């Protein structure tokens, strides 16, 4: 008998290069590295426009994760020498462990700035659902934070919680959203536990009672939506509303939050996971313009 080692939580890593730009034409190359608890991103910008990015899983070693993410982005870029980088800012949970960063900035500031870039200047409320925390941020038209709240005390309502669930139910993390809507019948009530560990036991109980996997997923997505909404509510929602982080790709949770919030969320062709690193790269560019770059 062979053991099935399929990893249902595993999401696709990606890197990208802007086909319309060349690093050789740029005056300033600024870099933002976002080392999160689950994923790490590196964004390379040329004069304030995204040139390339890499998005990959964080390992157990933050300095390596930062390095890997940067290498991944550089790979997409091809032949740019690393000393062409003018300024690099580290952000995210592991920001103190980016050895080649010139300075660090909190992810709150970076996500607001990044969302402002990705979704446009009309964004006033940014919800970032990351690997192990939730951030609700209000910002002005320049992407400056005006009010924020971060919950990093518990994993309820975070990406990690969803990974645990996907793994338990044997549903690939990328299919969770769609599968949670495949259940035919009345929408089940939300799982009553907010804690990931208890919710997992509760779900095991529901499966034993004969609930379909899709129904359990629907109940868990609903619970996550309610949990996330209770935090957003505290900061308050102003139009327009945008979501960043990996959870923005999960329709199961997002489509259940929107009715609670009562407005639509903005959409974007960008990968929502890179928002923090985009913000860091933008700050990096701003500091370059102030003459703080060109360390060589």
Partner 1 sequence: MLANYGYKDASGDYFITIDTDKCNGCGDCAAVCPVDLFAGMDEDPNDPLRVEPVAIVAGTKKNKVKYECNPCKPEANRPPLPCVAACATAAISHSW
**In the complex, which residues of this chain contact partner 1 (CB under 8 A)?**
105-106, 108-109, 144-154, 194, 230-231, 234-235, 283, 286
Structure tokens at 250: 């999960």
Helix, strand, coil percentages for the chain (3-state, nearest 5): 40, 20, 40
> Nearer to partner 1 by C-beta: 112 or 162?
112
> Nearer to partner 1 by C-beta: 108 or 221?
108
Residue 152: CB minimum distance to partner 1, A: 7
**Going by C-beta distance under 8 Å and a sequence separation of 6 or more, which residues neighbour residue 148?**
108, 112, 135, 136, 137, 138, 235
Sequential DSSP letters for 57-90: E--S-HHHHHHHHHHHHHHHH-S--GGG--EEEE
Residue 90: CB minimum distance to partner 1, A: 12
Of 271, 223, 238, the residue nearest 114 (C-alpha) = 271
Dihedral-angle region of residue 20 (phi above 0 means left; psi in -120 to 50 means alpha; beta otherwise) = alpha
**β-pair type (49-57, 14-17):** antiparallel
Residue 264: CB minimum distance to partner 1, A: 25
> Nearer to partner 1 by C-beta: 108 or 225?
108
> Nearer to partner 1 by C-beta: 28 or 148?
148
> Nearer to partner 1 by C-beta: 269 or 291?
291
Of 213, 224, 210, the residue nearest 172 (C-alpha) = 213
CB 155 within 8 A of CB 161: yes
Residue 273: CB minimum distance to partner 1, A: 21
Structure tokens at 290: 């102030």
> Nearer to partner 1 by C-beta: 103 or 251?
103
Residue 153: CB minimum distance to partner 1, A: 4
Q: Is 154 exposed, middle or buried (0-12, 13-18, 19+ CB in 10 A)?
A: middle
> Nearer to partner 1 by C-beta: 160 or 179?
160
């Amino acid at each position: 008998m062979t053991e099935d080692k399929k990893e249902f939580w595993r999401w696709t890593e990606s890197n990208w290069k802007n086909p319309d730009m060349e690093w050789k034409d740029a005056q300033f190359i600024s870099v933002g590295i976002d080392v999160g608890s689950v994923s790490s991103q590196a964004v390379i910008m040329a004069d304030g426009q995204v040139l390339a990015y890499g998005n990959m899983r964080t390992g157990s070693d933050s300095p390596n994760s930062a390095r890997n993410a940067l290498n991944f982005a550089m790979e997409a870029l091809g032949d740019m020498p690393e000393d062409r980088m003018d300024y690099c800012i580290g952000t995210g949970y592991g920001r103190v462990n980016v050895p080649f960063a010139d300075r660090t900035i909190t992810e709150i500031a970076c996500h607001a700035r990044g969302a402002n870039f990705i979704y446009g200047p009309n964004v006033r409320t940014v919800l970032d659902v990351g690997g192990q925390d939730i951030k609700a941020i209000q910002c002005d038209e320049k992407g400056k934070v005006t009010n924020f709240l971060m919950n990093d005390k518990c994993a309820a309502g975070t990406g990690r919680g969803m990974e645990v669930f996907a793994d338990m139910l044997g549903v690939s993390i990328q299919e969770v959203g769609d599968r949670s809507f495949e259940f035919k019948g009345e929408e089940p009530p939300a799982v009553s536990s907010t804690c990931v560990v208890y919710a997992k036991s509760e779900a095991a109980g529901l499966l034993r009672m004969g609930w379909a996997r899709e129904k359990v997923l629907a109940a868990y997505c609903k619970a996550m939506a309610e949990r996330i909404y209770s935090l957003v509510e505290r900061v308050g929602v102003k139009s327009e509303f945008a979501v960043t982080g990996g959870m923005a790709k999960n329709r199961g949770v997002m489509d259940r939050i929107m009715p609670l919030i009562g407005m639509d969320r903005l959409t974007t062709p960008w990968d929502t996971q890179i928002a923090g690193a985009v913000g860091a790269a933008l700050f990096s560019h701003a500091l370059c313009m102030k003459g703080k770059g060109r360390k060589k």
